[in-house]
Chain A
Amino acid sequence: MSGTEAVVMESSKRKSAQDHPQIAGTKPKRSRGATADEMADRQRDISVSEFFAKNRHLLGFDNPRKALLTTVKEAVDNCLDACEEGAILPELSVIIEDLQPDRPASAKSSRYRVTVVDNGPGIVRKQVENIFGRLLYGSKFHRLKMSRGQQGIGISAAGMYGLITTGRPMVIHTKPGATKAAHHIELAMNTKTNRAEVTLDKETTDFPPKRFRSLTAGTRSLAGESGGFLDAAVYRHGTCVSIELEGRYQRGRGSVDEFLELTAIANPHARIVFVPPSRVNDDDSDTPILAKVEAGAAVVAAVTTETQGVTVFPRAVQELPPEAKEIQPHPRGIELGTLLQMLKDFEASDHGTLFNFLRERFCRVSAATAGSLCEKVGLSSRRKVSDLDPSVTEKLFDALQNAKLAPPPTDCLVPIGVRQLLAGMLKGVRAEFYAASTREPAVYRGRPFQIEAAIAFGGELPGDETARVIRFANRVPLLFQQSACSSFKAVVETSWRNYNLQQPRGSLPIGPLVIMIHVASVWVPFTSESKEAIADYDEIRKEMRLALMECGRKLGTYLNKRQQMQRQGERRDIFERYIGEVSKALHDIAGVDTKKVHDALLKQARAHTAAADQSLDVDGKVVQEQESPDEEGIVVVQSAMPPSIERPTKRTPAPATLRPAGTADVKKPRKSADRDGPSLF
Chain B
Amino acid sequence: MAKISKLSPSAATKARDRVTSQKIVAMAETVAKRALSGKEPVVSIPARTRSNTIWNKRKGILQMGDAAQERQLFNLNQAKNFMQTMLHSSSVKTLIEAEKTLSLRGMFYKGLHTVAGTKEKTFADQDESDGILEDLEVSIGALREELRIFAKKAGTIVGNVTLVDSGDEIDCRHMGSGGYAIPSIVEPDVIQFKKCEAEFVLHVEKNTVWNRFNEDRFWEKHNCILTEGGGQPPRGVRRMLRRLNEELGLPVYCLLDCDPWGHYIYSVIKQGSISLAFESERLAIPDAKFLGIRSKDYKACNLSDDVQIALNDNDVKRAKEIAAYPWFQAHKGWQREIEGLLTSGFKMEVESLITKDISYVTEVYVPQRLKAKDWLD
User: Which A residues are within 8 Å of any B CB, using their own CB?
Assistant: 567, 570-571, 574-575, 577-583, 585-586, 588-590, 592, 596-597, 600-601, 603-605, 608, 646, 648-649, 652-655, 658-659, 663
Contact = CB atoms under 8 A, between A and B. Distances in A.
Contacts of B36: 592, 596-597, 600
B158 interface: no
Given A588-B90, A659-B117, A600 B35 contact: yes
A595 to B, nearest CB: 11
B117 A578 contact: no
Given A601-B73, A652-B118, A585 B86 contact: yes
A426 B86 CA distance: 50
Contacts of A577: 115, 117-118, 120
Interface stretch (B74-82, B269-277, B300-308, B341-349): B74-82
B147 to A, nearest CB: 13
Interface in B72-118: 73-74, 76, 79-80, 82-83, 86-87, 89-90, 93-94, 115-118
A196 to B, nearest CB: 77
Interface of B: 24-25, 28-29, 31-32, 35-36, 38, 40-41, 73-74, 76, 79-80, 82-83, 86-87, 89-90, 93-94, 115-120, 122
Contacts of A655: 116
Nearest to A580: B116
A581 B117 contact: no
B115 A578 contact: yes
Contact of B32 (A590, A605, A608): A590
A654 B116 contact: yes
A581 B120 CA distance: 12
A581 B86 contact: yes
Nearest to A578: B83
Contacts, number: 103
Q: Which of A570, A571, A585, A589 has the most CB of B within 10 A?
A: A589
Contacts of A596: 36
A538 B89 CA distance: 72
Contacts of B31: 582, 586
A608 B79 CA distance: 13
7 contacts: A585-B87, A586-B35, A592-B36, A597-B32, A600-B38, A648-B118, A654-B118
B116 A590 contact: no
Given A585-B28, A589-B28, A600-B38, 19 more contacts: A567-B76, A577-B115, A578-B83, A580-B115, A580-B117, A581-B122, A582-B31, A585-B87, A585-B90, A586-B32, A588-B93, A589-B86, A603-B38, A604-B38, A604-B40, A604-B74, A648-B115, A655-B116, A659-B116
Nearest to B94: A588
A582 B82 contact: yes
Contacts of A659: 116-117
A581 B89 contact: no
A653 to B, nearest CB: 8
B118 A574 contact: no
Contacts of B117: 577, 580, 648-649, 652-654, 658-659, 663
Contact of B83 (A570, A581, A652): A581
Q: Which of A579, A585, A655, A663 has the most CB of B within 10 A?
A: A585
Contacts of A653: 117
Given A577-B115, A597-B35, A590 B76 contact: no
A574 B79 contact: yes
A589 B90 contact: yes
Contacts of B83: 578, 581-582, 585
A580 B86 CA distance: 11
Contacts of B29: 590, 592
Nearest to B21: A589
A580 B24 CA distance: 19
A447 B94 CA distance: 86
Contacts of B118: 577, 646, 648, 652, 654
A567 B77 CA distance: 12
